[in-house]
Amino acid sequence: MSDELITRALVGGQWINGRGGTFPVTDPATGDEIARVADCTAGEVTSAIEAAAAAFEGWRLRSTKERAAVLLKVRDCLLQEKDTIATVLSRENGKPLAEATGEVGFAASFFEWFAEEARRHYGETIPSPSPSKRLVTVRQPVGVAALITPWNFPIGMIGRKVAAALAAGCTCVVKPAEDTPLTALLFAKICERAGVPAGVVNVVPCSRERVEEVGAALCASPRVQVLSFTGSTAVGQWLYSRCGPTVKKLALELGGDAPFIVFPSADLTRAVEGAMASKFRNTGQTCVTANRIFVHESIHDEFVSRFASAMDAELKVGRGLEKGINQGPIINQRQFDRLVKIVKDSVSAGAKTVRGGLSLGGLFYAPTLLTGVKMDMPVATQEIFGPVAAIIPFQNEEEVIRLANTTDKGLAGYFYSNDVSQVWRVAEALDVGMVGVNEAMVSSCEAPFGGFKQSGLGKEGSRYGLDEFAHLKYICFGI
């Protein structure tokens, strides 16, 4: 594949310019402009929806085996071009190159998984209450899927959504995040190369100024039968309200506020390793990152000491393309300013800075460790979304469960304990959709990903991921 950046939208198999002109994509590590990308309007979105609707009539009729073959080809092309994709991803997102390369593999895994799972998307035979009837169910694709993807995993989330939609027999209109459209457009080129038919995958980037216009067009279209979104709770709520008139299916993966609990029986070495991985992966800019770290008072000081030492030894800040870097920049100035304010206000309220707590220039923020954190401080009440670890002491299991569940979010939660009875109690008591027990890395294509409360609706990945893009139809036969 050519190293030339893809900057035009893909609609109905044609690479087009946006009626809104172009918008700049910048490298958050340097502030330099990387490229100018097609700024799509509601007009291009409507054309993409029409193209997807036309392509649906043919794509839905392909056998699952035929669709699976196309998905496996996409997987192969992703893996063949992983270095090119990872470099583009790192440039526009700031993510360290090793993480970006791993994300490409993560995206590819969903095409393999759903290629296989589509052939097992079974219906059922239901025992009939009458000898003159036979009852069965079948699963059928819903139609055109609108997929709105985030900047923090610009190829991983596209892979997770598109693979499931295509496997179920749907066609797609993808609206990537305005910070990271180049990765999405490169993915569109991969689909074209892999033989995905024209119109089955359409990609319409837009500037931040046009996000509401484009989002509203996707919500309002009666031809769009399902909308899948990963991003903030506030935007998810807006999309939810806009989809009401057309009664679409919705799959929403929204904000997180993950508790990370360390009990007295925990293996502290493993707990520190887990906290480091959960807190600082992608420079803390993930929805499942440890947001509030609760440590039992009897081991608090030792944990903090070990955690600080691990930060000193392991974390290296810099441009993602540089060798050995594992902490990149914050994605943009808006998010950077928000992070600075959260830390400043928490320190003003009494939190103690053990490490970091300062800007390193540009959009780089020093990995930060805060202690003395109270539950009413900004670092405990807001989703941090940055490399800031907030440590909160607790006295007993009952108290920490109450504190962990005191939030309107419920995406992920983690805890470390070697007490078998406690493991079961706490895993069941945490009001979240995903729990890591003595394990901080819970995402995989085989497992269902999704949360409770205001962290969203539905599941991605796993065998359940296909259900977001399918109708369950009941058929009653009289004999």
- To the query of whether residue 287 is one of the catalytic residues in this protein, the response is yes
pLDDT at position 390 over 90? yes
Both 459 and 421 in one domain: the answer is no
pLDDT for position 28: 98
Instruction: Decide: helix, strand or coil at residue 126.
Output: strand
Both 248 and 262 in one domain: the answer is no
Give a yes or no: residue 91 inside a domain: yes
- pLDDT tens per residue, range 117-130: 999 999 999 999 99
Locate tokens 């700024």: which residue? 39
- pLDDT tens per residue, range 328-340: 999 999 999 999 9
- pLDDT tens per residue, range 49-80: 999 999 999 999 999 999 999 999 999 999 99
Give a yes or no: residue 202 inside a domain: yes
Contacts of 404 (CB under 8 A, 6+ apart): 259, 261, 292, 294, 413, 430, 431
- pLDDT tens per residue, range 90-111: 999 999 999 999 999 999 999 9
Both 53 and 180 in one domain: the answer is yes
pLDDT for position 2: 61
Looking up residue 21, the CATH number of its domain turns out to be 3.40.605.10
Q: What number is the average pLDDT over the span 159-168?
A: 98
pLDDT at position 262 over 70? yes
Helices (H), 229-267: 233-242
Both 149 and 78 in one domain: the answer is yes
pLDDT at position 3 over 70? no
pLDDT for position 475: 98
Cα 329 to Cα 333: distance, rounded to the nearest angstrom: 10
- pLDDT tens per residue, range 415-431: 999 999 999 999 999 99
Both 373 and 459 in one domain: the answer is no
pLDDT at position 273 over 90? yes
pLDDT at position 352 over 90? yes
- pLDDT tens per residue, range 132-144: 999 999 999 999 9
Both 237 and 263 in one domain: the answer is no
Cα 354 to Cα 43: distance, rounded to the nearest angstrom: 52
- To the query of whether residue 297 is one of the catalytic residues in this protein, the response is no
What is the number of alpha carbons within 13 Å of residue 340 lying toward its C-beta?
Answer: 15
Helices (H), 255-377: 268-280, 300-314, 333-348
Name the token pair of 43: 């007009």
109: left (phi over 0), alpha (psi -120 to 50) or beta: alpha
| Dihedral angle computed from the Cα positions of residues 402, 404, 408 and 409, in that order, rounded to the nearest 10 degrees | -150
User: Which of the 8 DSSP states describes residue 125?
Assistant: E
pLDDT for position 4: 81
pLDDT for position 311: 98
Both 406 and 467 in one domain: the answer is no
- Dihedral (CA of 287, 432, 448, 233) sign: negative
- pLDDT tens per residue, range 361-383: 999 999 999 999 999 999 999 99
Name the token pair of 198: 């024209």
**Mean of all residue pLDDT scores within the chain:** 97
* Residue 435 CB neighbour total at 10 angstroms: 18
Both 318 and 187 in one domain: the answer is no
Q: What number is the average pLDDT over the span 313-328?
A: 97
- Going by C-alpha positions, the residue among 341, 381, 379 that lies closest to residue 359 is 341
Give a yes or no: residue 3 inside a domain: no
Q: What percent of the chain has pLDDT over 70?
A: 99
* Residue 15 CB neighbour total at 10 angstroms: 16
Both 215 and 342 in one domain: the answer is no
- pLDDT tens per residue, range 21-39: 999 999 999 999 999 999 9
Give a yes or no: residue 63 inside a domain: yes
Cα 414 to Cα 325: distance, rounded to the nearest angstrom: 26
Both 58 and 72 in one domain: the answer is yes
Name the token pair of 215: 């989002």
Domain count, the chain: 2
Give a yes or no: residue 450 inside a domain: no
Looking up residue 308, the CATH number of its domain turns out to be 3.40.309.10
Give a yes or no: residue 153 inside a domain: yes
Both 133 and 243 in one domain: the answer is yes
Q: Which of 81, 253, 397, 468 is catalytic?
A: 253
Give a yes or no: residue 4 inside a domain: no
Q: Which of 77, 206, 219, 287 is catalytic?
A: 287
Cα 410 to Cα 287: distance, rounded to the nearest angstrom: 11
Q: What number is the average pLDDT over the span 163-176?
A: 98
Confidence of residue 229 (pLDDT cuts 50, 70, 90): very high
pLDDT at position 305 over 90? yes
Both 241 and 307 in one domain: the answer is no
Instruction: Decide: helix, strand or coil at residue 57.
Output: helix
Cα 146 to Cα 174: distance, rounded to the nearest angstrom: 6
Structural domain boundaries, residue 314 = 258-444
Give a yes or no: residue 224 inside a domain: yes
Cα 170 to Cα 176: distance, rounded to the nearest angstrom: 18
Instruction: Decide: helix, strand or coil at residue 470.
Output: strand
Question: Which residues, listed in sequence order, are joined to residue 14 by a DSSP beta bridge?
Answer: 11
Q: What number is the average pLDDT over the span 205-219?
A: 97
pLDDT for position 1: 63
